[in-house]
Structure formats: C-alpha cells, structure tokens
C-alpha cells in the first residue's frame, strides 16, 4: 500500500469518526429538546447524509438505540396518562354504584317492613275496632309514600350511574383515538 493510499484511508476514518461524533451530539440535542428522533432529523442536525446513517453500522446502531429508547419512554408516559384518566373514571363509576346500593337496600328493608305491617293490619282488621284500623291505614299510606320516594331516588341514581358509564366509555374511546394518533405521528 502506498503512502498516499494509507493517508487517504486514515483521512476517511477521521471523517467517519467526526461524523459519528456529530451524530451522537445531534442525538443528545434532540433528546434534550424532546424533538422527534427520526433518521432525517438526526441527519439534518448532524450535517450528515441519511445514507451515511443507514450504511454505517455504528451510526445505524446509535440511531436505532436512541429511537427505541425515545419510543419506550414515550409509550410509558402515554400509558401512565391513560392509567391516570382511567382510574379517575373507574373511581367515579364505583362511587356511583356504591351510592346506588344504599337506596336499594333501604327500599328492600322498607318493602319488607310494609309486608310485615300489612300482615299486622290484616290481623288487626279482624280483631280491632275501627279507630285502630284508621291509624294503621294512615301509617300504611305514609309507608307507601316513602316507598315511592325511595323508588324515585333509586331511578335517579341509576340514571347517574348510566351517565358515568357512558362518560367512561367516551373517555376510553377518546384515549384510544389519541394513542392511535400519537403512534401515527411517531412513525418515521
């Protein structure tokens, strides 16, 4: 090998090492700026060709590692945000269901009490004079009004629960759409 050939090879190696150093620096800058890590963006920032990034093994590995790290970090952040929003809606739905069970239990207890009182009323009807019967009838009417009131409250809470579930489905669909958009944007 002649001296000029050796000098040319050495110069080519120095240029390659200089380009690799610029690629590393560009990757660091893009990470700090939270810019998109694409081959084109790295090539422009480093002042090298995209062909160099694809053909040089060391440069290609640098870009692939940085891109994979960026995507995994981005995916973790998106997943954390999704989990936070989903937990909020899940908590609301659970609270609505808990609020719904309380009136249901009370309605059940009131119905059971009404059944007992109706049974007692029938017994008294056969044994007690008219005045006691009037008192029991009034109490029965009051209990029926209370049952109607509890039934209305139950319906309102049921509607609120359905609204919360609908909001949760809408939020999940919206999150899925946003995630799809983010994935599309990340595609080089």
Tens digits of residue pLDDT in 99-123: 778 888 888 888 888 888 887 777 6
Query: What would the two tokens of residue 179 be?
Result: 């995630």
pLDDT exceeds cutoff 80 at 36: no
- The rounded distance, in Å, linking the Cα atoms of 73 and 93 is 30
pLDDT exceeds cutoff 80 at 13: yes
Range from 47-56, 78-87, 139-148 carrying the lowest mean pLDDT: 78-87
- The rounded distance, in Å, linking the Cα atoms of 46 and 53 is 10
pLDDT exceeds cutoff 80 at 62: yes
More confident site: 151 or 30:
151
| pLDDT of amino acid 160 | 92
Taking CA atoms, 133 is separated from 111, 117, 122, in Å, by 20, 12, 9
Mean local confidence (pLDDT), 77-89: 73
- The rounded distance, in Å, linking the Cα atoms of 37 and 79 is 20
Mean pLDDT, all residues of the chain? 82
24 Cβ contact partners less than 8 Å away, ≥ 6 residues apart: 62
Q: How confident is the model at residue 78 (pLDDT cuts 50, 70, 90)?
A: low
Mean local confidence (pLDDT), 18-30: 86
Query: What angle is formed at CA 88 by the lines to CA 82 and CA 93, rounded to 5 degrees?
Result: 125
pLDDT exceeds cutoff 60 at 128: no
| pLDDT of amino acid 142 | 93
Mean local confidence (pLDDT), 63-74: 77
More confident site: 45 or 83:
45
Residue 47 near residue 22 (C-beta atoms within 8 A): yes
| pLDDT of amino acid 175 | 92
| pLDDT of amino acid 153 | 93
184 Cβ contact partners less than 8 Å away, ≥ 6 residues apart: none
Mean local confidence (pLDDT), 11-27: 87
Long-range contact set of residues 18-24: C-beta below 8 Å, sequence gap at least 24: 19/46, 19/48, 19/52, 19/56, 19/59, 20/56, 20/58, 20/59, 20/62, 22/46, 22/47, 22/48, 23/48, 23/53, 23/59, 23/62, 23/63, 24/62
Mean local confidence (pLDDT), 17-31: 86
Q: How confident is the model at residue 89 (pLDDT cuts 50, 70, 90)?
A: confident
């Amino acid at each position: 090998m002649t001296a000029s050939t050796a000098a040319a090879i050495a110069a080519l190696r120095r240029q390659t090492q200089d380009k690799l150093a610029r690629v590393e620096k560009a990757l660091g800058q893009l990470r700090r700026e939270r810019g998109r890590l694409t081959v084109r963006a790295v090539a422009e920032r480093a002042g090298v060709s995209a062909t160099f990034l694809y053909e040089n093994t060391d440069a290609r590995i640098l870009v692939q590692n940085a891109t994979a790290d960026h995507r995994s970090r981005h995916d973790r952040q998106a997943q954390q945000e999704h989990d936070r929003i989903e937990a909020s809606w899940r908590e609301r739905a659970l609270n609505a269901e808990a609020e719904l069970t309380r009136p249901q239990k009370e309605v059940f207890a009131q119905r059971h009490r009404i059944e007992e009182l109706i049974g007692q009323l029938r017994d008294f009807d056969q044994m007690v004079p008219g005045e006691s019967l009037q008192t029991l009838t009034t109490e029965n009417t009051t209990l029926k009004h209370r049952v109607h009131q509890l039934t209305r409250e139950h319906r309102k809470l049921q509607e609120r629960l359905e609204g919360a579930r609908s909001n949760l489905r809408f939020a999940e669909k919206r999150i899925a759409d946003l995630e799809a958009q983010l994935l599309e944007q990340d595609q080089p």
